[in-house]
Amino acid sequence: MRILKARSRHLDGVMAIENSSFSDPWSRASMEAYLDAPDGELLVLEKDGQTAGFAVYHVSWEDAELYNLAVGGGFRRQGLGRALLDEVLVRAKGRGAERMYLEVRRSNAAAIALYRAAGFAVCGVRRDYYSLPTEDALLMDIILISN
């Protein structure tokens, strides 16, 4: 297993995971924009020569946001999501982020459990944030630095 900055060769695998994981997936162009984004990254996790998962995050000053994280169906429940999340946290902190935020569907119990286990806490609710179907988002955050 290895986690690295995505390249264009990874986009087909990333989009296959994105399209199978989310009811309202990102476009290929949106993913492609993070290949060379100065303030964020598209990371991929490769396992057994395949793109097994990916994460997209953005850093703006002291705040970071996890935009997207998914692991392909055949690779779930192996700790790969946690490995990706841990790498995102390290990289965001390395870019100067002091806090990271994310939104997650209220019904996504597996993702919420992953984020809580990593130290995220619910700090708000965004009503009707998601579509297809319409659903509230839990806003979660984690402090990346200690005072």
Cβ atoms 13, 31 nearer than 8 A: no
Q: Which structure tokens are listed for 29? A: 């162009």
Measured at the alpha carbon of residue 76, what is the angle toward residues 98 and 54, in degrees to the nearest 5?
45
Q: Which residues pair with 51 in a beta bridge?
A: 46
**Residue numbers annotated as active site:** 103, 115
Cα–Cα dist 133/97, whole Å: 32
* One-letter amino acid of 93: K
